[in-house]
Amino acid sequence: MLQNCVSHRIRTIAAVTFLCTMGSSLVAAEPSWPSWRGPHRDGISTEKGLLASWPEDGPELLWQVDDLGSGFSSISIADGRIFTMGQIRKPEPGAYLIALNLSDGSVLWKTRLGGGSPNSTPTVDGDRVYALDRNGHLACVSTSNGNVLWEKDFSSDFGGKMMSGWGYSESPLVDGNHLICTPGSEQAAIAALDKMTGEVVWKTSATDLGGAAYSSVVVSNAGGVKQYVQLMGRGVISVDASSGELLWSYKRVANGTANIPTPIVRGDYVFCSTGYGSGAALLKVQPMAKDVEEVYFLKGKQLQNHHGGMILLGDYLYCGHGHNSGLPICIEFATGEIVWGPTRGAGDGSAAVVFADGHLYFRYENGKVALVEATPDEYRLKSEFKMATNNGKSWPHPVIADGKLYLRDKQSLLCYAIRK
């Protein structure tokens, strides 16, 4: 009897030790935010154990790095590195892809890609990172040393076209063996490239799409067909993922200046919105994805997301409402009913939004950051603070990984500790 109890106790201790070891390895796993708006391009972080409120002067600033150049690129994180873009002067003026050390933000390497002030966020896939400058220069670069592996030019290779003059801003999508991008021309509205070589796999031929906009492609399986959904110059389109064939288009949500927010996809539904008074809509994709039905349309005065992004949690969608404004608002996804808001937020101007551990992080244009409980019950502001920098318009989307909040602010990158 005693021997059995001892044996049982030894086995229990061994099991607990094994589980603790497993837990430690899981916690110690490298943080990853490999692309625009996170792993699934939805602005949702799976982080847990984060602060439910902040000190009056904000969470602890762990480090700050400067001299990253101008532009509105956010960051990607993979394998102990941070990747971003900026227009800098040294060693030669131009748009650079920059790799930083995750632990302290120190620069590992810089690779010049082209010109202009970049708005695209790099996409990391294994030992390669893909980046696009505002002139449509696309490059595949080694994550370890910054060497360029292959390049494409949207203008000369695809006859690329932008809807207006702020330049290419999308973050390319890696899907399987392919890199999906949006040159925006009639011959190549969207293109699939071999991610290893840059060779063209297929191109979408279509007219009257208005050129590329400022959004990024997302994957949907609506109507039983794998497809790529993108907001173009004259509305939302979908193309077949295997062939690039244009499946459907919807032009009511569009404006002639800048269509920016990345669409939200769930099941057979696509939610899209844009600023400049245009509004928002929920679409239901029909079987075989041959057409879409407009479930509802919200006029611009009811809901318009300018460029801060939208978060879908359960049955409710949260975002900043208003052209050049980030007024917090919550709507019921299925019906379009406004549940609460729009209400005055903690900051001014547009607000980029990310979600983690029950809270929405609103990052405002004027450098204010707000922690808002993600609930349809009411607007609940939990905490707010002023960023350590405010280098003009704070537009880049925030990133949350490994208990840290990363805020790109033009030439600066700030890293805050937000774990309990």
Residue 68 forms part of a structural domain: yes
Residue 90 forms part of a structural domain: no
What is the residue type of 270?
Answer: V
41-88 pLDDT, tens digit per residue, is 999 999 999 999 999 999 999 999 999 999 999 999 999 999 999 999
Per-residue pLDDT band at 410 (split at 50, 70, 90): very high
Q: Which of 188, 175, 279, 287 is nearest to 235 (CA)?
A: 279
CB 19 within 8 A of CB 11: no
Mean pLDDT of 245-260: 97
Residue 201 forms part of a structural domain: no
Q: Which of 283, 332, 276 is nearest to 304 (CA)?
A: 276
Residues in the chain: 420
CB atoms within 10 A of CB 238: 27
Q: List the domain range (segments joined by +) for residue 371.
A: 44-72+308-420
DSSP assignment of 330-378: EEETTT--EEE-----SS-S-EEEEEETTEEEEEETTSEEEEEE--SS-
Write out the H or E segment, with its range, that includes residue 265: strand 264-266
Per-residue pLDDT band at 15 (split at 50, 70, 90): very low
Residue 402 forms part of a structural domain: yes
Q: What are phi and psi of 56, to 5 degrees?
A: -55, -35
CB atoms within 10 A of CB 5: 9
DSSP state of 13: H
Using DSSP's 3-state secondary structure scheme, residue 189 falls into coil
Residue 415 forms part of a structural domain: yes
Mean pLDDT of the chain: 93
DSSP state of 30: P
Mean pLDDT of 313-336: 97
- pLDDT exceeds cutoff 70 at 22: no
Per-residue pLDDT band at 12 (split at 50, 70, 90): very low
Residue 282 forms part of a structural domain: no
199-215 pLDDT, tens digit per residue, is 999 999 999 999 999 99
pLDDT of residue 212: 98
Per-residue pLDDT band at 30 (split at 50, 70, 90): confident
pLDDT of residue 6: 38
- pLDDT exceeds cutoff 70 at 225: yes
Query: Which pair of structure tokens corresponds to residue 360?
Result: 């929405």
The number of domains in the chain is 1
364-391 pLDDT, tens digit per residue, is 999 999 999 999 999 999 999 999 999 9
pLDDT of residue 147: 98
CATH number of the domain bearing residue 368: 2.40.128.630
Residue 102 forms part of a structural domain: no
pLDDT of residue 29: 60
d(C-alpha 386, C-alpha 384), whole Å: 7
CB 300 within 8 A of CB 277: yes
- pLDDT exceeds cutoff 70 at 232: yes
- pLDDT exceeds cutoff 50 at 323: yes
Q: Which of 167, 211, 164 is nearest to 186 (CA)?
A: 211
pLDDT of residue 87: 97
Mean pLDDT of 132-160: 98
CB 217 within 8 A of CB 180: yes
CB 214 within 8 A of CB 258: yes
Residue 409 forms part of a structural domain: yes
Q: What's the burial of 289, exposed, middle or buried (CB within 10 Å: 0-12/13-18/19+)?
A: buried
d(C-alpha 163, C-alpha 39), whole Å: 27
